[in-house]
Amino acid sequence: MNQADSPAKPVTGLILSGGGARAAYQVGVLAAIADLLPDATQNPFPVIVGTSAGAVNAVGLACGALHFTEAVRRLTQVWQNFHTHHVYRSDLPGVLRQSYRFLGHSLLGLGKSLPVALLDSSPLRELLARELDFSGIAAAVRMRQLRAVAITAFGYESGQAVTFYQGRATIDPWLRHRRVGVPTRLKLDHLLASASIPLIFPPVKINREYFGDGAVRQSAPISPALHLGANRVLVVGVSGNPQSGDANAIIIRPKTGRPPSLAQIGGHLLNSTFIDSLEGDIELLERLNHMSRLLPAELPSRGLVPKPVEVLVIAPSQPLDQIAARHRHELPRTLRMFLRGPGATKVSGAGVLSYLLFEPGYCNELIELGYQDAMAQKAALVSFLGLDPLATLNP
């Protein structure tokens, strides 16, 4: 067999989707993977891609890629001790000031021409600046422990989903319809831009353009990992719909006959932004894989059709909005007061709450759920990552 015909060396990509506080689930999955690795320093993901809150986890892993298990431990520690005031101001003066600015500027056109949102996310900037050492990315790339890390943000003027990536010099940028890949040295502003949920958190200016949450126009969330060289991907989702094994399963919820609250509407909008594109991209990729397997073997090798991309998906086995509803009392009193009117403190409006509830009880339950869901797929993970079943730990 010619070298040109030999199968490509497996390059595993990790896809961490967005979802605000729901991203605590991803940390539990990563903790399970760390427990399965026989070598605590081994980074099993040469390509790491994140969006929104998933970008925070992605960059956290990339910064510590030389010591994967330690990087996961630090991420876990941060999420286990999260409080809302670590992410956005939840004190009464801060909430009132931001509310007045939002109403005055956005509705009445008063005040300075500054980006305004419902919540002040300045505490998140301080937290990430304290916890992340971006120099670790260059060190991991140099030591061949990392091929590339990428985070996606949305340009409000260009209307494009821009994937900022840092990695090996051999990776070419790309240009697709409303999707571009830009090589850069990642900084805190790139991360904050990717995590800036529209209207909820303020956009961030990078160079001459303001950017917001990358999930807004990210029609193909898996695509950046493939551009960066991955030929198989592990996707850790944060869907609110439990995985049943049946792609066509319908989640039946009780009908009340009441008009939807503002929180219910907002929850569906957030789900359509953070979840629907990823699930649609997974379905498309699986269909392409199926088509590729049905065609004669020589066609994929000649580049006439895409080569199959192995995909493993780990997603919540329980509805996250119901978990959030159980923990809604943890939300600071000031925020409960402001969110009561839109209906976010009710069970029906818990979809919004599931994105904003950065509190230990909720985050720790999601971490535990992620750990258990990953361990439920232990055999699949061990096979996917190419680990020796006899060498993996049995926690």
Residue closest to 347 by CA, chosen among 325, 323, 372, 375: 325
CA atoms within 13 Å, Cβ hemisphere of 382 = 15
Q: For residue 293, count other CB atoms closer than 10 A to its CB.
A: 10
52 assigned to active site: yes
- Residues 167 and 103: their CA atoms lie apart, in Å, by 42
The burial class, CB within 10 Å (0-12 / 13-18 / 19+), for 130 is exposed
Find the catalytic residue in 17, 52, 277, 354: 52
Cα 45 to Cα 143, 148, 154, 305: the distances in Å are: 14, 9, 25, 26
Cα–Cα–Cα angle for 199, 203, 205, rounded to 5 degrees: 165
The burial class, CB within 10 Å (0-12 / 13-18 / 19+), for 393 is exposed
Find the catalytic residue in 35, 120, 196, 213: 213
- Residues 92 and 98: their CA atoms lie apart, in Å, by 10
Cα 78 to Cα 38, 73, 86, 313: the distances in Å are: 24, 9, 10, 24
Taking 3-state DSSP, the helix, strand and coil percentages for the chain, each rounded to the nearest 5, stand at: 45, 15, 40
- Residues 16 and 12: their CA atoms lie apart, in Å, by 13
Q: Are 148 and 229 in contact (CB under 8 A)?
A: yes
Element (H, E) at 211: strand 209-213
213 assigned to active site: yes
The DSSP code for 218 is: -
User: Going by C-beta distance under 8 Å and a sequence separation of 6 or more, which residues neighbour residue 21?
Assistant: 53, 82, 324, 354, 355, 356, 357, 358, 362, 363, 366
Q: For residue 25, count other CB atoms closer than 10 A to its CB.
A: 31
Q: Are 148 and 166 in contact (CB under 8 A)?
A: yes
Quote the longest CA-to-CA distance of the chain.
Answer: 71
Annotated active-site positions, please?
52, 213
